[in-house]
Amino acid sequence: MKLAWEHYIGLAGLVLMAAGNAIGLFWAPPEMMMGDVGRILYVHVPAAWICMVIYLVAFAGAVASLATARPGADALVESSVEVGVLLNVLLLVLGSIFAKPTWGVWWDWDPRLTASAIMCLTFVGVMVLRAMVDDVERRASWSAVTTVLAFVNIPVTYMSVRWWRSLHQVQSSSSTMSAEMWNVLWLNTVALLLVSIWFVARRYRIARDRADQLRAPPLEVAP
């Protein structure tokens, strides 16, 4: 049996993820001020980046779905919104675990954290909307519009640390991070990206199959 292409990407992602986590936990140096706690960076930041990338895919799918009404575009919205929410929840949980030992609190309503929570809620809203609308075409156009609108908050979330005062620090870059940490961060980011592509592709196939079943004409019953 021939494996679907996405399984190879998923396998590569899992291998890289195992390596990236092992390197992040055991090989990478502790951070000067945070010590070992700083290692959460290697999973928290990739979750944030890839979450936003996957939401960007959902946005592109939504625009394409509105413009062309192709079932494939709608399936892409369905799959990427779901995987985006999964990464969003991961982002919030990891961020909270990171925050307690460093900031001293699990949560605070600073602009970045609030925007990230809204980001999660709005895309959960898209999922709820999809679950409530049975008509395939209506579901496609409604969820495309709401996905485009929900996406407004993604640049806001990204920029929130620069636009407003916040507890969350501004984005790190290769110039604010030791090279051996930056490289581990990127390894884990690529790993999570590959795993996420795998998830979206698998979920896309399920969405296509389900939509095809709904669109198929009812079976004629023999007399």
User: Looking at beta carbons only, is 86 or 156 nearer to another protein?
Assistant: 156
Binder of another protein out of 11, 19, 23, 34 (CB under 8 A): 34
Separation between Cα atoms, residue 176 and residue 170, nearest integer Å: 11
Separation between Cα atoms, residue 89 and residue 48, nearest integer Å: 10
According to DSSP, the residues that pair with 35 across neighbouring strands are 31
User: Looking at beta carbons only, is 86 or 96 nearer to another protein?
Assistant: 96
Residue list 119-158, contact with another protein (CB under 8 A): 137, 140-141, 144-145, 148-149, 151-152, 155-156
Q: Do residues 52 and 158 lie in contact, with contact meaning Cβ atoms separated by under 8 Å?
A: yes
Separation between Cα atoms, residue 200 and residue 132, nearest integer Å: 22
User: Looking at beta carbons only, is 7 or 215 nearer to another protein?
Assistant: 215
Q: Report which of 176, 172, 179, 199 is spatially closest to residue 49, judged by C-alpha positions.
A: 172
CB of 164 vs another protein, minimal distance in Å: 5
**49 binding another protein? (CB under 8 A):** no
According to DSSP, the residues that pair with 31 across neighbouring strands are 35
User: Which tokens in the block code for residue 120?
Assistant: 């999660």
**174 binding another protein? (CB under 8 A):** no
* Total of residues contacting another protein (CB under 8 A): 53
Binder of another protein out of 27, 169, 210, 214 (CB under 8 A): 169
**206 binding another protein? (CB under 8 A):** no
**214 binding another protein? (CB under 8 A):** no
**170 binding another protein? (CB under 8 A):** yes
Q: Which stretch binds another protein (CB under 8 A): 12-20, 47-55, 120-128, 159-167?
A: 159-167
Binder of another protein out of 7, 18, 22, 68 (CB under 8 A): 68
CA angle 169, 171, 174 (to 5 degrees): 125
CA dist list (Å): 143 to 123, 125, 155, 193, 201: 10, 9, 20, 24, 19
Q: Do residues 31 and 180 lie in contact, with contact meaning Cβ atoms separated by under 8 Å?
A: no
CA dist list (Å): 197 to 188, 193, 203, 208: 14, 6, 10, 16
**209 binding another protein? (CB under 8 A):** no
Residues of the shown chain interacting with another protein in the complex, contacts defined by CB under 8 A:
28-35, 38, 41, 62-64, 66-70, 101-105, 108, 110-111, 137, 140-141, 144-145, 148-149, 151-152, 155-156, 159, 163-167, 169-173, 176-178, 180-181
